[in-house]
Amino acid sequence: MTAVAPTMERAQDAVVTRKVKQRRDWAKWGLATYFVIFLFFLYIPIILMAILSFQGPTGQLTWPFRGPVTLDWWKTLFDSNVINTVADDVRASGEQSLWLSLVAGGIVAVLGFSLSMAFRRRWRFKSDVVAFYVIMLALMTPAFLVGLGNQLLWKFMGQTPDLWKTALGANVIWGIPFSFLVMLAVWNRYDRHIEEAARDLGANAATTFREVTLPLVWTGVFGSFLFGFTLTWNDFDRTILLQNGYQAQPLPILIGTWPSSHPILPNLYALGAGTTAVSLFLIFMVLVAVTLRLRFRGAPVRRAAEEFGDTAGLTGAGGLTARAK
Amino acid sequence: MSSSSTPEPPASDATRVALQEVEEAEAILEQQPPQAERALGEAAARGGGGWVTAVLAAPGFLWIGFYLIAPLVVIILVSFWTRTDTGFSKVWTTANYGDLFHDSTYWHNMLTTFETSLIAVAACLVLGFPVAYFLALKVKSLRMQVALFIIALAPFWTSFLTRALAWTFPLMGTEGALNKSLQQLHVTSGPVSEFSYSLLSVRAAMVQLYILFMITPLFFSLSQVDRAALEAARDLGGNWWRTFREVILPQTMPGIVIGSIFIFVLTMGDYGTVATVGGGNITSVGTLIYSKTTAIEYPQGAASAILLVILLMIGVWVITRFSNLREEL
């Protein structure tokens, strides 16, 4: 971390050190307090929503909290025999969302991995940068523009937009840059001499890839999959324009169009809190994956940016330009 | 670089030998990578084997071409076509744009959205900077840094829509927590109706929903700030403000620029937040375009979208003037 001057007997050094320390601590605690307030600000809406989903039978959408703490509203999501049930819709949408997100995650992981492999092979610099910005375009294009564009394209081709053919494609577009950046970060920290060693020992390209490369980067690929999964699991802006009325709606669409299709009751909050819980669970999976990778790593890392390879942080062409120099 | 540009020194034997060695070394450095390395696939594209790179890149770029580039091209085309009752016909016209320029509702929406975006960028920067600063420079252990960062980042992966929904009744509604607690604290006597389904709540929600796009690049550029320079600035007697302005800020500029671009683009193009938190009372360019497409006014919607994109590009260009990203990254 920071280079602290070695403690020597000279009096002036001691004075300087103490001064710096005092100033730093004060700022640190101030900022820490602010950070806690910030987290509160970040999480409070969803926490309030979750609390309201545990109301009793007379529960409503607003405060105060009514009735005993029950799971009644959660039950309406799963049990089709209770009053106010929405179980059928939720099950259909949940399954649709789950399959869609799984497939999107898989495609995102494969495409991002293969794109990052192409970049690893050091293209000529110029096309490198153009290709990089094309991938970043996928990140920068507003969501509903992608939705509108795809809708018009399919209309132009004389086809009806389809959840699996259109919405899936648009969602994968959103996931590709994330997966690509994650994989670039992984490759930045990857020691390719290991591959050379494997080849020197007589392994062919396929064996090297399967037994050396993949085991070392699988956490990145898995992270890409989770990115693709969660982004699709939560997407509204793209999908709303690209679905048709004949297929079961994914969960976000069900939630988003709830006011026009269902009575608004606290089970909407339960549904929102539930889908959020699934997402949060997946992030902790990512956290575990990252921790596993930390353990594999050899040399100690001093800054988080190094750990993320400075590209995963959406800081743009960082890794790329550094390498090109 | 090259030794030819410097004037030839008096040719003693020693210098001549030295120069020769330098030239040889340069000749080696300029050579293609050695064969052994090429066989290992390193820098293969410079020689043969570029097709492997192409095969690896092809699926991704084909996907992007079909689901991103082609749709964007179609938006441009449709914006110049004529509206029909079922969609559009390929009759070229500029009337869609002509109408838009005289559409005061559109420009009013554009202005409001632009204002919202500016407020969001400024608010995210001011509110997000201390968070990134704390994480990057005040938290010492890497593990702690990563853990806190992920806790702050986690909501980003959860549904925007659900979080936007959480802003409506539970928090900002007339009976929402904010109004209730303000009344409890005797700050206000009755519910403040401006909190629900209003421009204010839309803007507040946007800051909360998008701020992580600012914090992330800030965090990464702040954690790359040279700590030795910070120590040096302090040792040289720079106070906190001067250190911040002359050491930290210049090095953080790329992060600020990237974060601002993200927030600007995302808030200008936002549809979901405005629709949910605004509850139909608030319009933005996004909701306007959406209503045009549901009314099967595709060419008008496309033209509105293209104008929005042009303004976005101008905005992004202006933001990048603050820092030469390609140089500094």
Establish if A17 belongs to a structural domain: no
Instruction: Using a CB–CB cutoff of 8 Å, tell me whether B56 touches chain A.
Output: yes
Establish if A149 belongs to a structural domain: yes
Q: Please give the Cα distance from A281 to B282 (Å, whole number).
A: 34
Range of the structural domain that residue B315 is part of: 97-328
Instruction: Using a CB–CB cutoff of 8 Å, tell me whether B64 touches chain A.
Output: yes
What angle is formed at CA A140 by the lines to CA A148 and CA B317, rounded to 5 degrees? 115
- Residue-wise pLDDT tens digits, B176-220: 667 677 777 766 666 666 666 778 888 888 888 888 888 888 888
- Residue-wise pLDDT tens digits, A162-194: 888 888 989 999 889 888 888 887 777 777 788
Find the farthest-apart pair of alpha carbons in chain B and give their distance in angstroms, rounded: 95
With cut-offs at 50, 70 and 90, classify the pLDDT of residue A302: very low
Establish if B287 belongs to a structural domain: yes
* Average pLDDT of span A29-54: 85
Alpha helix ranges (H) inside chain A:
11-52, 72-78, 87-120, 125-140, 143-156, 168-188, 193-200, 205-208, 214-234, 239-242, 251-256, 258-261, 266-296, 304-307, 318-324
Establish if B238 belongs to a structural domain: yes
With cut-offs at 50, 70 and 90, classify the pLDDT of residue B73: very high
* Average pLDDT of span B3-22: 60
* Average pLDDT of span B65-84: 88
Of B266, B305, B312, whose CA–CA distance to B288 is shortest?
A: B305
How many domains, in total, are found in chain B?
Answer: 1
Averaged pLDDT of chain B: 77
Establish if A174 belongs to a structural domain: yes
Instruction: Using a CB–CB cutoff of 8 Å, tell me whether B81 touches chain A.
Output: no
Domain containing A253 — which CATH number?
A: 1.10.3720.10
**Among partner residues B42, B266, B301, which is closest to A148 by beta-carbon distance?**
B301
Range of the structural domain that residue A199 is part of: 89-324
For B196, the 3-state DSSP assignment is: coil
Question: Which residue pairs, CB below 8 angstroms and at least 24 apart, start in B233-241?
Answer: B234/A20, B240/A23, B240/A27
Establish if B71 belongs to a structural domain: no
Please give the structure tokens belonging to residue A128. 């490198």
Establish if A190 belongs to a structural domain: yes
Please give the structure tokens belonging to residue B255. 């992060």
Q: How close A235 gets to chain B, by Cα (Å)?
A: 7
Q: Please give the Cα distance from A98 to A91 (Å, whole number).
A: 10
What DSSP string runs through A183-207? HHHHHHT--THHHHHHHHTT--HHH
Establish if A199 belongs to a structural domain: yes
Using CA atoms in the order B155, B161, B164, B170, what is the torsion angle rounded to 10 degrees?
Answer: -100
Where is pLDDT greater, at A291 or A40?
A40
Establish if A132 belongs to a structural domain: yes
pLDDT recorded at residue A107: 94
Establish if B112 belongs to a structural domain: yes
**Cross-chain Cβ contact B220/A315 below 8 Å:** yes
Enumerate the residues of chain A whose CB falls inside 8 A of the CB of residue B254: 315-316
> What is the length of chain B?
329
Find the farthest-apart pair of alpha carbons in chain A and give their distance in angstroms, rounded: 84
pLDDT above 50 (res B290): yes
Hey, what amino acid is at B229?
Answer: A
Instruction: Using a CB–CB cutoff of 8 Å, tell me whether B131 touches chain A.
Output: yes
Enumerate the residues of chain B whose CB falls inside 8 A of the CB of residue A110: 59
Strands B87-89 and B82-84: antiparallel
How many domains, in total, are found in chain A?
Answer: 1
Closest chain A residue by Cα to residue B206: A42
Enumerate the residues of chain A whose CB falls inside 8 A of the CB of residue B153: 283
| Neighbouring residues of A158: CB distance < 8 A, sequence distance ≥ 6 | none
Q: Are B202 and B277 spatial neighbours (Cβ–Cβ below 8 Å)? A: yes
pTM over 0.80: no
Establish if B154 belongs to a structural domain: yes
* Average pLDDT of span A240-245: 79
With cut-offs at 50, 70 and 90, classify the pLDDT of residue B302: confident
Establish if A57 belongs to a structural domain: no
- In a 13 Å sphere around the CA of B111, the CA atoms on its Cβ side amount to 6
Q: How close A300 gets to chain B, by Cα (Å)?
A: 10
**Cross-chain Cβ contact A205/B150 below 8 Å:** no
Q: Please give the Cα distance from A120 to B57 (Å, whole number).
A: 11
Q: Please give the Cα distance from A208 to A215 (Å, whole number).
A: 10
Q: Which residues pair with B83 in a beta bridge?
A: B88
pLDDT recorded at residue B49: 60
Establish if A141 belongs to a structural domain: yes
With cut-offs at 50, 70 and 90, classify the pLDDT of residue A321: very low
With cut-offs at 50, 70 and 90, classify the pLDDT of residue A315: very low
Instruction: Report in angstroms the alpha-carbon separations of B244 from B134, B249, B253.
Output: 14, 6, 12
Closest chain A residue by Cα to residue B212: A42
pLDDT recorded at residue A13: 58
Establish if B60 belongs to a structural domain: no
**Cross-chain Cβ contact A3/B59 below 8 Å:** no
Domain containing B313 — which CATH number?
A: 1.10.3720.10
**Cross-chain Cβ contact A115/B305 below 8 Å:** no
Where is pLDDT greater, at A106 or B147?
A106
pLDDT recorded at residue A172: 92
